């Protein structure tokens, strides 16, 4: 359990949000874990710089940003609304849990490496 102040908490199962924001560049849908990206308290100017870094996927090197991985994550804060896929889902607290194998994906086979 981690308690900390934050400007942003993102719970992701894929590397990018819509619009190409690479919030969790190392996230993998098939690893059974959620990536939790936390940007600690920063100034408005630093938050704007971080946004540019998120677009490039380089924000993980910023000293205010930490990443953790977990199967279940609960985010809590007073008077904060959670968003998913750009839509409000309701007030915090919000608990996210990985459900392995919950989604089947059909895709063409990958060609062998080097072809």
Give the E-state strand segments of 1-115 in sequence order: 8-12, 34-39, 65-70, 72-75, 81-84, 87-91, 94-97
Question: What does 54-67 look like in DSSP terms, one character per residue?
Answer: HHHT-GGGSTTEEE
Q: Mean per-residue pLDDT for 80-98? A: 93
Residue of higher predicted confidence among 19 and 54? 54
Enumerate the β-bridge partners of residue 87: 84
Q: Domain residue spans in the chain?
A: 8-97
* CATH (one of 3.30.420.40, 3.20.20.60, 2.60.200.40, 3.40.50.300) for 8-97: 2.60.200.40
Residue 58's contacts (CB-CB under 8 Å, 6 or more residues apart) are: none
Neighbours of 108 (CB within 10 A): 5
Please write the tens of the pLDDT for every residue from 11-50: 999 999 878 889 999 999 889 999 999 999 999 999 999 9
Residue of higher predicted confidence among 23 and 1? 23
């Amino acid at each position: 359990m981690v308690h900390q102040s934050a400007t942003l908490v993102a719970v992701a199962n894929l590397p990018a949000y819509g619009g190409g924001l690479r919030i969790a560049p190392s996230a993998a849908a098939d690893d059974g874990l959620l990536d939790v990206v936390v940007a600690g308290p920063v100034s408005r100017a630093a938050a704007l710089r971080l946004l540019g870094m998120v677009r490039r996927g380089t924000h993980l090197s910023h000293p205010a940003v930490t990443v953790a991985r977990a199967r279940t994550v609960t985010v809590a804060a007073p008077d904060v609304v959670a968003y998913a896929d750009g839509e409000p889902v309701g007030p915090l607290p919000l608990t996210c849990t990985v459900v392995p194998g919950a989604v089947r994906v059909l895709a063409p086979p990958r060609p062998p490496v080097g072809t």
